[in-house]
Amino acid sequence: MLKDRIHQWLQANREDAILFLEKLVRFPSTQGNEASIQQLIASKFKEIGLEVESWELDGNQLKEHPSFFSNREMFEGSPNVVGLLKGTGGGPSIVLNGHVDVVPAGDGTQWENSPYEANIIDGKMYGRGTTDMKGGNLSLYLAIEAIQQLNIKLKGDVILHSVVEEESGGAGTLAAIMKGYTADAAIIPEPTDMKIFPKQQGSKWFRIHVKGRSAHGGTRYHGVSAIEKAGLVVNHILALEKIRNERIDDPLYRSIPIPVPINVGRIEGGDWPSSVADLVKLEGRIGIAPSETIEEVQAELAEWLERLGAIDEWFIDHPVVLEWYGAQWLPGSIDLDHPLMKIVEEKFFDVTGINATVEASPWGTDGGLLTQVGDTPSIVFGPGKSSMAHFPNEYIELDEIFKAAEIIALTVIEWCGLDDRD
């Protein structure tokens, strides 16, 4: 039986696969530093027997696209890799999409081991990028490698995206779409904790300039602290987050504490300890529900910030300045009764013996671009806890990677169609 053969192949190749994941995690592949890991992945794809294309993103071409968002326009050191497994014809095609970029490791002292050591303890591998999403990527490679090594022939094409820039707006996936690497549907194994996410939250980065008035710190009563005012702005944003989330009644979000969070992730301001700070910059990301457009959300935040004057008169004459910059992720969704949904749910049950949880994703993925720009409806489903993503001591449970690989392999075979002519 196909399922057993795949299961056994995965068991037999488990040790090698884990060693390969170690290698992947040991690349500190933050934005701009993805070239070496992509080289390794391109070799892997060739070894599996895929047709491989690798190219550096073309900022000049990308920036003309209305869905291009990034904090940079030059992409040296950030190549995309695509591996193509041509089908024998007559079956639907599928994109399997994973990103190799990782967010920075943050305050190193909060990590018990070095973020790029890939230690394994009690069946978990630790390291930046283990769960987001090198573990999920490994599930994809294993699924396709199993299909190839077991000599399973598919009718439809499988297109493996190994992309950059997911963490900063999706320019990697956009570039793959612009090269024509789209399909009839897609799976993205971001860390969903093995839940199935037919809807993906979008998000957009913002920057808020909060003004104060400088003065000598010793006579700070002559100035106005932009740091104190920034505290008010942060609280005001939290109040908007509350209102926006109370409004959401999609049952897919019912078990998520804050369905569409607003995160203020960076703060910087003032230029001298003994001067009153006259400017503080806040940088963050606002979540966009699958039912919303980015434009609606932008307007709502802008309008909300205009109300700051009611909280503190200072803002009447010194309004904050809202800027949209850097990254955005389009929200995405696939019909709950889309055939691929049915297949993934069924294969999940076949492999695990339990029913999958179907939810909406708490974060943006490249699924929005694939759906809205690439016309490729996408499901996000993968191993690893999203609660560990962007976290110190990020880890992934290794068992889940192999379960996901099995589910994805079976899904791909059923979706693309088995060509069992001899």
Q: Is 387 in the site for a second copy (CB under 8 A)?
A: yes
Going residue by residue from 59 to 78, which x/- string records binding to a second copy, judged by CB under 8 A?
--------------------
Residues that contact a second copy, how many (by CB under 8 A): 70
Site for a second copy in 234-263 (CB under 8 A): 234-235, 238, 257-258, 261, 263
Answer yes or no: are the C-beta atoms of 276 and 218 closer than 8 Å: no
**Annotated catalytic residue within 145, 157, 165, 166:** 166
By CB neighbour count within 10 A (0-12 exposed, 13-18 middle, 19+ buried), where does 95 fall? buried
Select the residue interacting with a second copy from 89, 90, 123, 265 (CB under 8 A). Answer: 265
CB of 120 to a second copy, least distance (A): 22
- Tell me how far, at minimum, the Cβ of 260 lies from a second copy, in Å: 8
Question: Within its chain, how far is the Cα of 380 from the centroid?
Answer: 10
Q: Which stretch binds a second copy (CB under 8 A): 81-89, 151-159, 389-397, 408-416?
A: 389-397
List the one residue from 84, 227, 240, 322 that touches a second copy (CB under 8 A): 227
Cα 145 from chain centre: 24
Q: Which tokens sit at 275? A: 């001067």
The DSSP annotation for 7-21 comes to HHHHHHTHHHHHHHH
CB 214 within 8 A of CB 278: yes
Shortest Å, Cβ 411 to a second copy: 25
In the bound state with a second copy, the residue whose beta carbon lies nearer, of 145 and 359, is 359
Among 139, 361, 376, 378, which residue sits at the site for a second copy (rule: CB under 8 A)?
361
Whether the CB-CB separation of 192 and 386 falls below 8 Å is answered with yes
Out of 231, 309, 319, 339, point to the residue binding a second copy (CB under 8 A). Answer: 231
303 is catalytic: no
Label the pairing between strands 279-288 and 332-333.
Answer: unpaired
Nearest in space to 134 (alpha carbons), one of 186, 82, 83, 99 = 99
Indicate which residue of 101, 167, 241, 414 is catalytic: 101
Residue in 104, 243, 375, 399 binding a second copy, rule: CB under 8 A: 104
Q: Tell me the three state secondary structure of residue 360.
A: strand
**Are the C-beta atoms of 162 and 82 separated by less than 8 Å?**
yes
* 337 flagged as catalytic: no
List beta partners, residue 266: 283
Q: Which of 139, 201, 376, 378 binds a second copy (CB under 8 A)?
A: 201
Residue 322 or 418: which CB sits closer to a second copy? 322
In the complex, minimum distance from the CB of residue 238 to a second copy, in angstroms, rounded to a whole number: 8
Of residues 18 and 234, the one with the C-beta less far from a second copy: 234
DSSP for residue 147? H
Of residues 267 through 286, those in contact with a second copy by CB under 8 A are 267-280, 282-285
Round to whole Å and give the CA distance between 254 and 90.
40
The nearest distance, CB 118 to a second copy, in angstroms, is 19
What does the alpha-carbon distance between residue 134 and residue 384 come to, in Å, rounded to a whole number? 10
**What is the contact mask toward a second copy in residues 318 to 357, using x (rule: CB under 8 A)?**
--------xx------------------------------
HSE of 226 in the Cβ direction (CA atoms, 13 Å)? 26
Question: Hey, which residues does 379 pair with through a beta bridge?
Answer: 187
Nearer to a second copy, 371 or 411 (CB): 371
94, containing H or E segment: strand 94-99
CB of 41 vs a second copy, minimal distance in Å: 23
189 binds a second copy (CB under 8 A): no
Residue with Cβ nearer a second copy (53 or 250): 250
For a second copy, the binding residues in 113-172 under the rule CB under 8 A are 132, 167
For the sheet containing 120-121, what is the strand order? 120-121, 124-126, 395-397
Nearer to a second copy, 282 or 358 (CB): 282
Q: Which is nearer to a second copy, 361 or 371 (CB)?
A: 361
Q: What is the full DSSP assignment across 167-233?
A: GGT-HHHHHHHHTT---SEEEE----TT-EEEEE-EEEEEEEEEE-B--BGGGGGGSB-HHHHHHHH
Q: Report the nearest approach of a second copy to the CB of residue 277 (Å).
A: 6
Question: Would the CA dihedral through 33, 35, 40, 46 be positive or negative?
Answer: positive
Between the CA of residue 94 and those of 184, 236, 310, what are the distances in Å?
6, 43, 52
Q: Kindly give the pairing relationship between strand 94-99 and strand 158-163.
A: parallel
Cite the active site residues: 101, 166
Interface with a second copy (CB under 8 A): 103-104, 106-107, 110, 132, 167, 201, 203, 205-207, 211, 213-223, 225, 227-228, 230-231, 234-235, 238, 257-258, 261, 263-280, 282-285, 287, 326-327, 361-364, 386-387, 389-392
